[in-house]
Amino acid sequence: MIKNFLPKQYAKDKKFIIKHNYLSEQFKDYNLIINKIKKVIKYNDYTLGKEVNIFENNIKKILNQKYVVAVGSGTDALMLSLKCLNIKEGDEVITTPYTFYATIGAIVTAGAKPVFVDVREDYNIDVTKIEKKITKKTKAILPVHWSGKICDMDEIMKISKKYNIPIVEDACHAILAKYKNRYAGTFGEFGCFSLHPLKNLNIWGDGGYLVIKKKSLYKKIMLMRNHGLVGRNKNLIFGYNSRLDTIQACVANHLLKKLKNITESRIKNSNFVDQKLSLIKEIQLKQRSKNIKEVFHLYEFRVKNKKIRNGLLNHLIKKKIDAKIHYPIPMHLQPAAREYNYKKGDFPVAENISNTTISLPVHEFVNKKQLNIMISSIRGYFEKN
Ligand SMILES: *Cc1c(COP(=O)(O)O)cnc(C)c1O
C-alpha cells in the first residue's frame, strides 16, 4: 500500500521551534487574499480567469520578459517545455543527478532519457563535463539553479550555441536570482518556475509558470496548457490540461508585492550565517561569487563526512531546529532510475554532497535570535565532538 505520507510529515515538522515551514506566519493577512477570492466566486472565472492574466503580466514586468505562461506546476512547466521541443522516445536530455525528483520526472514523462553530468562543489552542473555527454540524440540541456544559485550560464550558452541544443532552465529555486545582472529563467528557450507552498514565491497548492523566448514556442505552450484549444469549438493540437487556478493566482499576486522583501531577507540571513559559520573550521561553506546574486531557496553547508553530518543533524533536531538534508540520495541512485544502470561512484561529487550536506531555515520569519541559536548549536556540537 502506498500511503499519503504528507500529513505525518506535517505533524512532525510542527514540533520544531525553528522551522522550514513558515506558512502560518506568512499568511497571517489571509483575509486580504480571501477578499480577492470572493471576487472570483462572484465572477466564477475559476479557470484561466482575470487574475491569471494579471499574474502573467506581473511576472513579465518583474523579469522584463515578453512571454510568460502560468501552468499547473513547476513539473508541468518543465515537462511542457520539453514536449514543446518535440522531444520523443529515445531522445536524451542532459541534467544533473543533484536535483529534486521533479526535474527527472519531467524528462521521463516527456518521453526522454535523462543523461546525468556530475555537479561541482557548489551543487550545480559541472559545465566542463557537459560536452562529453552530447550525442546525436541530445535534444536539450537542463541546468538546475540549485538553492537559488544560477549555474555557469556563459559556458552553458556557449555549448548550446556550438551544438545548437536548446536550454531549458529549472529555475524553481531561483526567482529573482541573477547571473551577471541577468535573471534566472531568462537565458534558455524556457525558464521554468514553481509556485509550490515552500518555494520562494508560493501559493496555497500547486502552480508554476514559464518564461519563453520565442513567440512560436509561446504560442504552442499557450495551446498545450489548455487542450490545444483556440476557441470553444476549435482544437488545433491535442494538448494537456495544465492551468494555474484563478484562486491561486490571487495568492500569487498578493505575495508578489512581498517578493523583494522575501528575497532580501533570505539573502541577509544567509550572509549573517555565512559570516558566523566561516569561523567554525569543521564547516565548508559554498563558494560565493560577486557575479551571482543567490536567492537562498536553501541555505546549505557541508561537513567532512556522513558520520559527522548525521551526528550534527541529530544534534540540531534534538534542539528542535528543523535542519534537513536536501537530499540524501542523488537521482541516479534512486530506485526509479534503475533502468539506466547507474551505480555508486558514477557521480562522486553529487554523492559526496548528498552524504555531507545540511540545510538550515533562513526564510523571512527566522529572526536574529533564532539564527544565533542555530549557529551556537552547531558550534556547541563541534566543541563536544
Ligand atoms: C519544486 C521543484 C520542481 C517542481 O515544482 P512543482 O511545482 O512542485 O511541480 C522542479 N525542480 C526543482 C529543482 C524543484 O525544487
Q: Let me know whether 163 and 222 are in one domain.
A: yes
From the CA of 282, how far away is ligand 1's center (Å)? 31
- Predicted confidence band at 292 (pLDDT cuts at 50, 70, 90)? very high
What secondary structure, in 3-state letters, does 14-34 show? HCCCECCCCHHHHCCCHHHHH
The answer as to whether 33 is a domain residue is yes
Here the cell at position 99 is 536535483
| 278/281 Cα distance (integer angstroms) | 7
Point out the ligand 1 atom lying closest to the alpha carbon of residue 99. Answer: 13
Point out the ligand 1 atom lying closest to the alpha carbon of residue 194. Answer: 7
Point out the ligand 1 atom lying closest to the alpha carbon of residue 206. Answer: 7
Residue 291, domain extent = 6-25+259-384
Cβ of 162: how many Cβ atoms within 10 Å? Answer: 10
**What's the CA dihedral at 130, 267, 363, 279 to 10 degrees?**
90
* pLDDT for position 357: 98
Q: Let me know whether 287 and 237 are in one domain.
A: no
Sole residue written with cell 505552450:
221
Q: What is the pLDDT of residues 28-38, one digit of tens each?
A: 999 999 999 99
From the CA of 108, how far away is ligand 1's center (Å)? 15
**pLDDT-above-90 percentage for the chain:** 98
* pLDDT for position 27: 96
Q: Whose CA is nearest to atom 13 of ligand 1?
A: 100
The answer as to whether 379 is a domain residue is yes
The answer as to whether 127 is a domain residue is yes
Domain edge (last residue) among 214, 232, 256: 256
| 208/60 Cα distance (integer angstroms) | 14
Residues with CB under 6 A from ligand 1: 73-75, 99-100, 102-103, 144, 170, 172-173, 194, 196, 206, 208
69 neighbors 212 (Cβ within 8 angstroms): yes
| 187/372 Cα distance (integer angstroms) | 37
Assess whether pLDDT exceeds 90 at residue 219: yes
Overall average pLDDT of the 116-130 stretch = 98
Overall average pLDDT of the 206-213 stretch = 98
From the CA of 333, how far away is ligand 1's center (Å)? 19
Sole residue written with cell 542555530:
374
Q: Let me know whether 297 and 215 are in one domain.
A: no
| 71/222 Cα distance (integer angstroms) | 9
The answer as to whether 118 is a domain residue is yes
| 140/81 Cα distance (integer angstroms) | 10
Q: Let me know whether 171 and 263 are in one domain.
A: no
Domain edge (last residue) among 233, 256, 279: 256
| 349/175 Cα distance (integer angstroms) | 26
The answer as to whether 111 is a domain residue is yes
pTM, to two decimals: 0.98
Give the residue from 176, 224, 174, 182 showing the smallest Cα distance to 70: 224
Our mutation pick for probing the ligand 1 site, out of 99, 101, 103, counting the most ligand atoms within 8 A of Cβ, is 103
Point out the ligand 1 atom lying closest to the alpha carbon of residue 146. Answer: 13
Q: Let me know whether 221 and 194 are in one domain.
A: yes
Overall average pLDDT of the 207-227 stretch = 98
Our mutation pick for probing the ligand 1 site, out of 20, 79, 93, 100, counting the most ligand atoms within 8 A of Cβ, is 100
* pLDDT for position 1: 86
Overall average pLDDT of the 156-184 stretch = 98
From the CA of 359, how far away is ligand 1's center (Å)? 17
- Residue 281, domain CATH: 3.90.1150.10
From the CA of 382, how far away is ligand 1's center (Å)? 34
| 168/156 Cα distance (integer angstroms) | 11
Point out the ligand 1 atom lying closest to the alpha carbon of residue 75. Answer: 9
Assess whether pLDDT exceeds 90 at residue 313: yes
Q: Let me know whether 150 and 234 are in one domain.
A: yes
Q: Let me know whether 284 and 353 are in one domain.
A: yes
Our mutation pick for probing the ligand 1 site, out of 20, 73, 75, counting the most ligand atoms within 8 A of Cβ, is 75
Domain edge (last residue) among 227, 256, 285: 256
Cβ of 143: how many Cβ atoms within 10 Å? Answer: 30
* pLDDT for position 65: 98
Q: Let me know whether 76 and 209 are in one domain.
A: yes
Q: Let me know whether 68 and 162 are in one domain.
A: yes
Q: Let me know whether 226 and 341 are in one domain.
A: no
The answer as to whether 46 is a domain residue is yes
* pLDDT for position 195: 98
256 neighbors 207 (Cβ within 8 angstroms): no
The answer as to whether 227 is a domain residue is yes
Assess whether pLDDT exceeds 90 at residue 209: yes
Q: What is the pLDDT of residues 141-159, one digit of tens each?
A: 999 999 999 999 999 999 9
Mean pLDDT over all residues of the chain? 97
Q: What is the pLDDT of residues 240-266, one digit of tens each?
A: 999 999 999 999 999 999 999 999 999
* pLDDT for position 385: 87
The answer as to whether 1 is a domain residue is no
What is the identity of the amino acid at 15?
Answer: K
Q: Let me know whether 215 and 265 are in one domain.
A: no
Give the residue ranges of DSSP H helices in 114-239.
Answer: 153-163, 215-224
From the CA of 256, how far away is ligand 1's center (Å)? 19
Point out the ligand 1 atom lying closest to the alpha carbon of residue 208. Answer: 7
Q: Let me know whether 194 and 143 are in one domain.
A: yes
From the CA of 281, how far away is ligand 1's center (Å)? 33
| 73/273 Cα distance (integer angstroms) | 32
Cβ of 17: how many Cβ atoms within 10 Å? Answer: 10
Kindly list the strands in the beta sheet with 168-170, ordered across the sheet, starting from the edge strand earlier in the chain: 67-71, 208-212, 190-194, 168-170
- Residue 240, domain CATH: 3.40.640.10
Number of domains in the chain: 2
Compute φ and ψ for 130, nearest 5 degrees: -70, -50
Point out the ligand 1 atom lying closest to the alpha carbon of residue 199. Answer: 1
351 neighbors 330 (Cβ within 8 angstroms): yes
Beta-bridge mates of residue 194: 208
Our mutation pick for probing the ligand 1 site, out of 172, 190, 209, counting the most ligand atoms within 8 A of Cβ, is 172
Secondary structure of residue 207 in the 3-state scheme:
coil
* pLDDT for position 287: 92
